Amino acid sequence: MLRKEFGVISFEFDSGGPSRIECWVPYVSPAGVMSNWQPDNEKASMEAAVEEKRELDSMFYLQNKAPKWDEAHGGHVLNFQVIAVCRGRELIYFVNTILIT
């Protein structure tokens, strides 16, 4: 039985500030049907497709919103406008760059 892939996550640590997280997940149609990723070898995997920049139109790309340094709070903050201003590195807020341009 072949495994089914549900996504690829890339994490890049930055000791001087917020880390970078990127995520690719299979596209889901308006009818709720997910793109099928069931590779029979490593070259057909989602990770290989992302590295080779192929078939990206069948995936959603998400990345964390980078917090900004705020002297008043003494740390990195994410501003959610009306919702809240949150402090801390543990908070991850993903932005779908395909839909928000």
| Amino acid identity at 8 | V
Which CATH number is associated with domain 8-96? 3.20.90.10
Separation CA 35–CA 31 (nearest Å):
12
Write down the domain spans for the chain. 8-96
Q: What is the pLDDT of residue 90?
A: 46
What are 21-70's pLDDT values in tens digits? 889 999 888 898 888 888 888 888 999 999 999 988 888 888 887 777 77
Q: Is 5 helix (H, G, I), strand (E, B) or coil?
A: coil
Per-residue pLDDT at 94 exceeds 60: no
